[in-house]
Amino acid sequence: MTLHIFNTLTRQKEEFKPLVPGKVGMYVCGMTVYDYCHLGHARAFLAFDLIVRYMRHIGLDVNYIRNVTDIDDKIIQRANENGEPFLNLVDRFANAMNDDFDQLGIERPTHEPRATAHIDDIIKLVQTLIEKEYAYAVPNGDVYYRVRKFEGYGKLSGKVLDELEAGSRVGVDSDKEDPLDFVLWKAAKPEEPHWDSPWGIGRPGWHIECSAMSTCCLGDTFDIHGGGPDLKFPHHENEIAQSEAATGKTYANTWIHAGALRLGAEKMSKSLGNFFTIRDILEKYDGEVVRFFLISSHYRSHVSYLDNSLDEAQAKLERFYNALQEANVGEAVDIDNEYSKRFHAAMDDDFNTPEAIAALFDLVREVNKTTGDEQAALAGQLKYLGSVLGCLQADPQTFLQAGAGDDAAWIEEMIAKRIAAKKAKDFATADAVRDELVAKGIVLKDVPEGTSWSKS
RNA sequence: GGCGCGAUAGCAAAGCGGUUAUGCACUGGAUUGCAAAUCCACGUAGGCCGGUUCGACUCCGGCUCGCGCCUCCA
């Protein structure tokens, strides 16, 4: 089976055929860095991490571009509130983002361009659009995109211009020719961050930077453009309008959008205020647990975060790690068997992680049922297929004992005490020791080699 | 108002026009001094109403409910 991807643009699954066989150019809209990332951000970027990992796994050479938006109204506002230069703020939160993503096993993109490093490209693009009459400058120095001039407007999101206007909550801006026109270049006040331009000092609008950076890194037409669900409109629609008007060529062939993360019934979002940050969660749970929770549902569907979501993900991972701990894990390579076939068929079908994980659970059962070389080989396969998902690479004992804090020495003492009691057939004492440990959340496991423990 | 998505067993979550999804939880058994881990057994789930079909959770229509986008948002 070949890789099939659901294309938002055509609203169907399509066989994926890169422009250049074996190579993939992929652009994903990244973070605007003025605050810590929340779990909803993790959901989206994890989805694309998985997509990139899998494409590389099947031999595609992926050039993965994920930008950082480092200039925008919120950044300026927050920097002012803090009384710090905006680039200071931006660096701080870009670093925080990378730290958080690292813990979730989200691999770094091939390139991470920043808007402020592409001001020249942005200005050139705006100039081209003005020359082609897709954009116009107004007296105060703003430049707007003439939305009605672009025939294909709405093709990605399914919006119809006249209906947008009818229900528009956009205030009428007297300088715009049309209320739906959006800003490409914003005039700046002298005290705000700004760059020189043919239209006076100013800064780029939000949508234009992605058009400039994607084309810059990947060419006029590239394979995949992705982003969070809330970027489909207007951001991605505007990117298409800008780029295709400027180049006269197709912008991106395949559009991928991740599903939203919900807290209860509602989307987790900054504007609703119903979010918690990745680092809040990482104080209580291992990054792999968060990762496994988020990849346990399909990347395009909504995921609801519930009180027990992470505990459930933890329990599932424990099943994997218990198997890996018991087995003598062989070399991490794939085996041509039904588990591999199911795993790959699922992933080839629009990155169906729940189905792929189901195959892995069946493989776990097989690992637990077998012994010796056969078991070692299957356990190696489990570890290998897990690596494709960015999971199961931790030391099993470390994973299973995580959260025990500094109690390890005390636990070993208690275990020694219990083993002595058992030898003396003093089962009452042995059980009392174990009960004391259980009360602290420590579970003992007697194995042929002795006694091991894990955090419950 | 416009456009779109979803509703699966106690919980989470997939595929599929007819044959066990999967995980957790539950129950019984094996194993264990007792446990834990593991294995075996165990659930006629598919919002409601029609239609198509020999047969529908799966296709079509309607309804109800929930959600998203249309404003910055991953």
- Per residue in A253-312, pLDDT (tens digit) is 999 999 999 998 899 998 888 999 999 999 999 999 999 999 999 999 999 999 999 999
Q: Looking at residues A123-145, what average pLDDT do you find?
A: 97
Which phi and psi (to 5°) does residue A419 adopt?
A: -60, -40
DSSP string, A14-32: EE---SBTTEEEEEE---B
Q: Which of residues 173-192 of A touch strand B (CB under 7 A)?
A: 182
Q: How far apart are CA A368 and CA A189, in angstroms?
A: 67
3-state secondary structure of A446: strand
ipTM of the complex, rounded to two decimals:
0.96
Q: Closest nt to A452 (CA→C1')? A: B36
Q: What is the DSSP letter of A252?
A: E
Tokens (6 digits) for A18 = 């890169």
Q: Looking at residues A188-192, what average pLDDT do you find?
A: 93
Average pLDDT, chain A: 95
Q: Which of residues 5-24 of A touch strand B (CB under 7 A)?
A: 11
Q: Is residue A367 pLDDT above 70, yes or no?
A: yes
Q: Which of residues 74-103 of A touch strand B (CB under 7 A)?
A: 74
Give the tens place of pLDDT for each residue, A411-453: 999 999 999 999 999 999 999 999 999 988 999 999 888 899 9
Q: Is residue A99 pLDDT above 70, yes or no?
A: yes
Q: Closest nt to A353 (CA→C1')? A: B14
Is the CA virtual torsion A125, A127, A132, A136 positive or negative? positive
3-state secondary structure of A169: coil
A96-100, A192-196, A262-266: least confident range: A262-266
Tokens (6 digits) for A201 = 């000092």
What's the Å distance between residue A294 CA and nucleotide B66 C1'? 21
Whether A437 CB is under 7 Å from strand B: no
pLDDT of residue A109: 98
Q: Closest nt to A35 (CA→C1')? A: B73
Q: What is the DSSP letter of A149?
A: G
Q: Is residue A334 pLDDT above 60, yes or no?
A: yes
Whether A112 CB is under 7 Å from strand B: no
Q: Closest nt to A304 (CA→C1')? A: B12
3-state secondary structure of A111: strand
A88-102, A166-180, A300-314: least confident range: A166-180
pLDDT of residue A175: 81
Whether A231 CB is under 7 Å from strand B: yes
pLDDT of residue A172: 54
**Residue A106 contacts residue A49 (beta carbons within 8 Å):** yes
Q: Is residue A333 pLDDT above 90, yes or no?
A: yes
pLDDT band, very low/low/confident/very high, at A210 (cuts 50, 70, 90): very high
Percentage, residues of chain A above pLDDT 90: 90
Q: How far apart are CA A234 and CA A157, in angstroms?
A: 8
Give the tens place of pLDDT for each residue, A39-92: 999 999 999 999 999 999 999 999 999 999 999 999 999 999 999 999 999 999
What's the Å distance between residue A102 CA and nucleotide B17 C1'? 45
pLDDT band, very low/low/confident/very high, at A167 (cuts 50, 70, 90): very low
Instruction: Estimate the share of chain A in helix, then strand, then coil, as percent rounded to the nearest 5.
Output: 50, 15, 35
3-state secondary structure of A262: strand
Q: Which of residues 264-293 of A touch strand B (CB under 7 A)?
A: 265-271
Q: Which bases of chain B are contacted by protein, using any atom under 7 A from a CB? A: 1-6, 11-15, 21-25, 32-40, 66-74
3-state secondary structure of A180: coil
pLDDT of residue A124: 98
Whether A40 CB is under 7 Å from strand B: yes
Q: Closest nt to A45 (CA→C1')? A: B74
Q: Looking at residues A302-329, what average pLDDT do you find?
A: 96
pLDDT of residue A404: 80
Q: Looking at residues A307-335, what average pLDDT do you find?
A: 96
pLDDT of residue A405: 75
**Residue A255 contacts residue A230 (beta carbons within 8 Å):** no
Give kind and range of the element (H or E) at residue A102. Answer: helix A86-103
What's the Å distance between residue A338 CA and nucleotide B55 C1'? 30
What's the Å distance between residue A262 CA and nucleotide B20 C1'? 32
Cis preceding linkage at A234, omega within 30: yes
What's the Å distance between residue A170 CA and nucleotide B4 C1'? 21
Residue spans of alpha helices (H) in A183-302: 206-218, 237-247, 278-282, 287-295
What's the Å distance between residue A312 CA and nucleotide B10 C1'? 14
